Structure 1
Amino acid sequence: MARIRAWPPGRLALACCAAWMLVTEPARADETCQSPYMAKITGLEDFVYVWTLGVEGLGDGSDKLVTVDAREASPTFGKPIHAASVGGRHEAHHGGFTDDRRQFWAAGLSDSRIFIFDVASEPAKPRLVKVIDDFVERSGGAAGPHGAYALPGRMLIPSLSNRDGTGRAALVEYSNEGDYVATHWLPTEAAPNGARIEATADGYGYDARVLPRRNVMLTSSFTGRENYMRPLGDLMKDGEAMKRFGQTMVVWDFHARQPRTVLSVPGVPLEIRWAWGPQHTYAFTSTALTAKLWLVREDAHGAWSAKPVADIGDPSTLPVPVDISLSADDRTLFVDTFMDGTTRVFDVSDPDRPRQIYEKKIGAQLNMVSQSWDGKRIYYTSSLLANWDKTGVENEQFLKAYTWNGRELAARFAIDFTAERLGRPHMMAFGAAALYAP
């Protein structure tokens, strides 16, 4: 296993400063949604790592981290060149790099396992080096780890559920070495933990993102294991189950890990994207069940509020927005909708008044979008959840790459993950060999 740098607690302020310097330096690549504490790629990405759900009878049937060659001069450009299987199917979902980018942590929603890959020793061929299989026990009952977010010397793991399968969720911290550190439960009406509650506090979790210069962390909300592991068709017919979805976002004092305000954001707010501008104190999210863009903003007095600022497609048709990507200049927002397989591009230069400027159907279904720092390369994947993906001919499973010139998308390459016998591609992350050069 590659040696991981540890950050003593006293160096947190210095780390924040260094992170912000990295953010404001010019960069030609990397994803715009990554943690500000994380080392950045300053050249073009060499690889796209795709955390992929296994499919029974397809290849080895296991979840795996697939490496796709993104080097345009390479003879294997646009092709899968490596797959690191983890053995079995664990509902592969989200993941993230450690702050030094030497490891990639990938989560499984069904059995709460976390898989740690060494990506530094041989970036084209990540290697599984550790499995955390006691997440539920060590965290005190959190379950359904949803990705991993880099903090200085630590990884923050938002959970979607708990050992009872309900929606009460937590934020769980680990050291970069994979040792449990702390659990922070999301506030509820019964246990607000000091938070001011606008309308309700449902305790659901999903994404977690930090704005270091304002000492603010923002979390969003989804649903518990009893819902996300059910077939989507059955779930949508169950009126009581459909009531058990998130309606809130929480503003936290980041350093204290203390919830401050529970904002009312009805409709299941999912991915959070902070603006990058040094004077911008706002973030966007989208609501899956109401198909709206929301703006979360701090006012001149330091108070935070949330409001809907645009519709995404026709909300009455339930397009189900699932992922968003904000450009590094804070001017353009890509929004993916699962049910109609469409990506929409909004001009958000005025964040209070987003305006759609483009749309394109990418496939029969669509989930994640990753955008390079320079805004020129866009990647899409198809799979949402094993029991929620479409069936039959509409069960398209792909990674598709495009260029964006500010007006339209042009195809670069596409990989059919079913034809390649790899599985259901979900989350993407960029890799670059130069990061680990001596």
Structure 2
Amino acid sequence: MAKLKPDPTFYPTPRDAMRAPPEDIAYVAALYVGTGVNAPDFLAVVDVDPKSPTYGKVIYKLDLPYIGDELHHFGWNACSSAYCPNAKPFLERRYLIVPALRSSRIYIVDTKPDKRRPAVAKIVEPEVAVGRTGYTKYHTVHCGPDAIYISALGGPDGREGPGGIFLLDHDTFEPIGRWEVYRGPQYFAYDFWWNLPSGVMITSEWTVPRCFEEGFSLECLKEGAYGNKLHVWDLAKRRHLYAIDLGQEHRMVLEVRPLHDPTKLMGFVNVVLNTKDLSSSIWLWFYEDGKWQAERVIDIEAQPFEGPLPPVLKDFKMVPPLVTDIDISLDDRFLYVSLWGLGELRQYDITNPHQPRLAGRVKIGGLYHREPHPSGAEATGAPQMISVSRDGRRVYITNSLYSSWNNQFYPGLRGWMAKVNVNPEGGLELEKEFFVDFGRARAHQVRLWGGDASTDSFCYP
């Protein structure tokens, strides 16, 4: 009888995951929504093996059957949380769970038997998912030990809230239902993550669909419809405990990134906009004195600018940094920060999480820097999504945020993917030989074969 073994891409600890073989394939969400191209979005397969003759090339495109989905964030069906004590047995990192932010459709993409030519295995249509969960506008996927968790930004009408989280079954991929039993005051939704051994979930706030689908809205900003809180939940009881208010001026609280060592009860979150001075900030959330709390640990200023700016910014004569994504290396040493407005990727040493120290940065694109890629290629847009390799030696960046926001801030944006090499002691360098031009398709999230720094949860230090 064949012996069932854990998936070889699952690791009990972050240190074990860092010793994994380097990635050779990257999957990239590519979309045509908002570009004027009447074609469905696709999942691009990019060769990231430097020894391969097709290195840095799109080697396959999985075209999806519908137009207008707007692919955004996606994730694996299973990951290293399968080692947790309450995990469902015999899971395999095989399927990519690919939700569509605009259509509320969910694609289940099979990467086996050929990871270089994935195929759609199942489609969960909107009427099924919305009917069972009461949620629309699906955003972030995390592979939990007991189910697949997906965040949603909208309520059943697709315009207002509340947003929240729902579950998919690990085996059938059918929606199970809404996760929250007691929601409390939470209304806006966006990202979520957890510390599994301590049984806590942290969620963040962007806004409701009417305030993001047509673009950034000053009217929504004035009415307070962009979120400014973190929410703390009892993971087992599915119950809201309390909210952490970051202040009225701090709006759009986005990516929740816990430290990977589960004994460290802390993590980071980025705030896109300070309404007083257009700056961005990074906050540390942590457990101390019997309560979860948050403190601002990094401020990034807006820059005066006299050159041409898009209409949404021209009256300010300033370029906001627009910190739209962050990520943490598996050894919990470096925090990566994308500045979508200025055109930078920054690296901070977080050995002391309360006092991050700038360790490296690269400039590419941006409304402020307007730097080409080292290859000489024009880089419209700027670093937006970040994917850090398991060993922490490589960072992959793409430049698309969301269709209507792209058109406001970077009209005519062309999708690209770049690679940044990391000095183990700190420091970044864009690789001249790696620049993937997606043309009119816009590139969003990147997932690496076997996992990356923002896909897996660990229960062991």
Q: Sort the TM-score into its range (normalised by shorter chain).
A: 0.7 to 0.9
Q: Structure 1 186/270 Cα, relative in aligned 2: closer, same or farther at 3 Å? A: farther
Does the 8 Å CA contact 1:380/1:400 hold for their aligned counterparts? yes
Pick one of 241, 252, 256 that aligns with 2:233: 252
Q: 1:27 maps to which residue?
A: 18
2:47 counterpart of 1:69:
yes
- Identical amino acids, percent of aligned pairs: 26
The whole-number CA distance in structure 1 between the counterparts of 2:102 and 2:30 is 14
Give runs of aligned pairs for residues 235-250 of structure 1, distance below 5 A: 235-236=217-218, 238=219, 243-250=224-231
Distance between the aligned counterparts of 1:172 and 1:392, measured in 2? 33
1:96 pairs, out of 75, 81, 87, with: 75
Supply the RMSD in Å over aligned alpha carbons: 2.6
How far is the alpha carbon of 1:292 from its aligned partner? 0.7
Give me the whole-angstrom Cα distance separating, in 2, the residues matched to 1:79 and 1:239.
40
Identify if the C-alpha distance between structure 1 residues 410 and 360 changes in structure 2 by more than 3 Å, giving closer, same or farther.
closer
1:389 to 406, 412, 423: 406
Is the aligned partner of 1:347 residue 2:349?
yes
1:105 and 1:147 in contact (8 A); partners too: no
Residue 169 (structure 1) aligned with residue 147 (structure 2): no
Structure 1 pair 432–183 and aligned structure 2 pair: CA distance change class (3 A): closer
- Within the candidate set 124, 138, 145, 1:145 is matched to 138
Question: Aligned with 1:25: secondary structure?
Answer: helix
Q: 1:210-229 counterparts in 2 under 5 A? A: 210-229=194-213
8 Å CA contact 2:347–2:427 kept in 1: the answer is no
Task: Report the equivalent of 1:375.
Answer: 392
Selected match of 1:123 from 91, 100, 115? 115
Deviation at 1:141, TM superposition (A): 2.1
Match among 163, 175, 193 for residue 209 of structure 1 = 193
Contact 1:135 1:143 in 2 (8 A): no
Count the aligned residue pairs.
387
Instruction: Tell me whether 1:409 sits opposite 2:429 in the alignment.
Output: yes
Corresponding letter in the other structure for 2:18? A
Q: What displacement does 1:209 show? A: 0.8
Residue 266 of structure 2 is matched in structure 1 by 282
Equivalent position SS for 1:415: strand
Which residue identity lines up with residue 379 of structure 1 in the other structure? Answer: Y
Identify the range of structure 1 (55-64 vs 320-329) with the bigger mean alpha-carbon deviation: 55-64
Q: When the two structures are superposed, what TM-score results if normalisation uses the length of structure 2?
A: 0.78
**1:202–1:258 CA distance, 2 compared to 1 (3 A):** closer
Say whether 1:335 aligns with 2:299: no
Change (3 A) 1:153 1:399: same
1:43 counterpart = 2:43: no
* SS of 1:425 mapped into structure 2: strand
SS of residue in 1 equivalent to 2:197: helix
CA distance in 2 between counterparts of 1:215 and 1:19 reads 21
Aligned partner of 2:369 in structure 1 is none
Is the Cα contact below 8 Å between 1:167 and 1:224 reproduced in 2? Answer: yes
State the AA in 1 paired with 2:231.
V
Cα deviation, residue 61, structure 1 = 1.8
Q: Which moved more, 1:106-115 or 1:404-413?
A: 404-413
1:325 matches 2:319: no
- Shift of residue 357, structure 1, vs aligned partner: 2.7
Task: Give the whole-Å Cα distance in 2 for the aligned partners of 1:219 and 1:25.
Answer: 27
CA distance in structure 1 between the aligned counterparts of 2:262 and 2:144, rounded to whole angstroms: 20
Partner residue, 1:295:
284
What residue ranges of structure 1 are gaps of 5+ in the alignment? 6-14, 29-41, 193-200, 434-438
TM-score between the two structures when normalised by the length of structure 1 = 0.82
- Which residue number corresponds to residue 110 of structure 1? 102
Cα distance, 1:175–1:248 mapped onto 2, change above 3 Å: same
Say which SS state the counterpart of residue 403 (structure 2) adopts: coil
Q: How far off its partner does 1:279 sit?
A: 3.2
- The residue identity in structure 1 corresponding to 2:153 is L
CA displacement at 1:55 relative to structure 2? 4.7
In structure 1, the residue corresponding to 2:251 is in which secondary structure? coil
In 2, Cα distance between equivalents of 1:374 and 1:231: 37
How far has the Cα of 1:231 moved from its partner?
A: 2.8
Aligned partners of 1:359, 1:410: CA distance in 2, in Å?
A: 10
